[in-house]
Structure 1
């Protein structure tokens, strides 16, 4: 494929940067919907968030955990040990950040903000919540591209690209989920757009860090893949799925989750 050939000519760190710039771009594109409207059908938002959760769950296994287990086995390790340690470590890392950084989940009143008490504005707390969400996504994409440099057959440029596409697709509704509520609260279109895209800005940073880490510290690769998976699953359980089910559209949001999982699985198998 032309895309694989194009991306393949760069070193893995640049590949990770390009891929996460793409995922950030789709976050900005989703946030840009606020230019045209300040309200979308709640059913569409819930099914989109469900889709995002499904993509993240599928990516955590197909693109991260399964390769981590295979790589550990090929390296002569007990296959499940790096996967288990990394997975739990990623979840605990996100829980620690969750406890230390003030943030507010979507559709909740400011009084229910999590983390340390703060006088920060509601808009800031909402952006921080999605930013927390995006850290493991950028890290996952970066680690996937960094793994390609390992030369292990299970880590392919096609699989890394598939992960980048999947994360990008589910970033679109995340951008809307930030900008539209801010617009409804009276913030200008330009500021709502700015805050919406700002939440995805962390992904290129996390992607480059993830790629560089596994290239220069190769032995941690299986742990790093599983770490990214654990961090993403924590976010899905803590934020994405509960948010998609918070309205009265539980059935269609669940269907969205199934569709998201299926789409990510197809991408990974087809390109990987």
Structure 2
């Protein structure tokens, strides 16, 4: 593990953010590739995976984003927490706006329940866009953290950035599976289902590069940017991931998955920071 951290320390931060999110994209593709081996999705397994995703995202929001954002903010007392409050709120509002505008359909929902502006787009595209909403704040978070390391902010570390990328990658695996398998069930070929599944994470490298560049160019925004990513991720968890995982009768499975995801992400972040 130390050799991986040493490798990323030698890279340009924008390039490091790109490589890290190419890794997370690759794990999305790996999850989507399960469509070649399975004909249908076990709902119990799926709900457990969704819970795991939520646990990773909540733990990452605090340990990797909010806590460092508060630590590197200037001032004391209530003044010190202002960047966290402002950034967190703006991040949540950003995803809220995207949720209202971007046409998408959550997994296992009917076409009548699609969200965003009205469109005649095919269900496969709408399902892919729903998972894409997850990946925008995830890619941004990784990029912002790498940018913070390059800017020399106390509280931002290469180990923390690598831990975040590893955690996001782990929960991207079930996300790729969650897109590809329902599409296969809708009658799409295995290859088309796989392609849509892995494409859901294509925004992560883009968001990561933009996040790293923005923080390096406008260094004072880093505490706000970290908490912005945290707010965006928390909105996704509460509005989408947790409700989806609780729809069927496997609520205990999804809850245990959530706990497991939280524990793993917390361990990675504290252990590698």
TM-score, normalization by structure 1 = 0.98
In the aligned structure 2, how far is the partner of 1:266 from the partner of 1:73?
Answer: 28
1:232 corresponding residue in structure 2: 233
1:149 Cα deviation from its structure 2 partner? 1.2
In the aligned structure 2, how far is the partner of 1:186 from the partner of 1:159?
Answer: 41
In the aligned structure 2, how far is the partner of 1:242 from the partner of 1:38?
Answer: 25
Q: Which moved more, 1:14-23 or 1:143-152?
A: 143-152
1:257 corresponding residue in structure 2: 258
Please list every run of at least 4 consecutive aligned residues from structure 1 whose deviation after the TM superposition is greater than 4 angstroms.
Answer: 74-77
In the aligned structure 1, how far is the partner of 2:88 from the partner of 2:180?
Answer: 31
Contact 1:38–1:181 (CA under 8 A) maintained in structure 2: no
Contact 1:147–1:155 (CA under 8 A) maintained in structure 2: yes
1:58 corresponding residue in structure 2: 59
1:88 corresponding residue in structure 2: 89
Aligned residues: 272
Q: Which moved more, 1:2-11 or 1:227-236?
A: 2-11
Q: Where does 1:137-216 land on structure 2 (aligned, <5 Å)?
A: 137-216=138-217
In the aligned structure 2, how far is the partner of 1:76 from the partner of 1:195?
Answer: 47
1:121 Cα deviation from its structure 2 partner? 0.6
Structure 2, unaligned stretches of length 5 or more? Answer: none
Q: Where does 1:64-79 land on structure 2 (aligned, <5 Å)?
A: 64-73=65-74, 78-79=79-80
Deviations, residues 226-249 of structure 1 (Å, cap 9, x unaligned): 000000000001111111111210
Contact 2:55–2:257 (CA under 8 A) maintained in structure 1: yes
1:47 corresponding residue in structure 2: 48
Q: 1:227 to 1:27 in 2, by over 3 A?
A: same
In the aligned structure 2, how far is the partner of 1:149 from the partner of 1:212?
Answer: 10
In the aligned structure 2, how far is the partner of 1:176 from the partner of 1:117?
Answer: 26
In the aligned structure 2, how far is the partner of 1:192 from the partner of 1:101?
Answer: 21
1:75 Cα deviation from its structure 2 partner? 9.7
Structure 1, unaligned stretches of length 5 or more? Answer: none
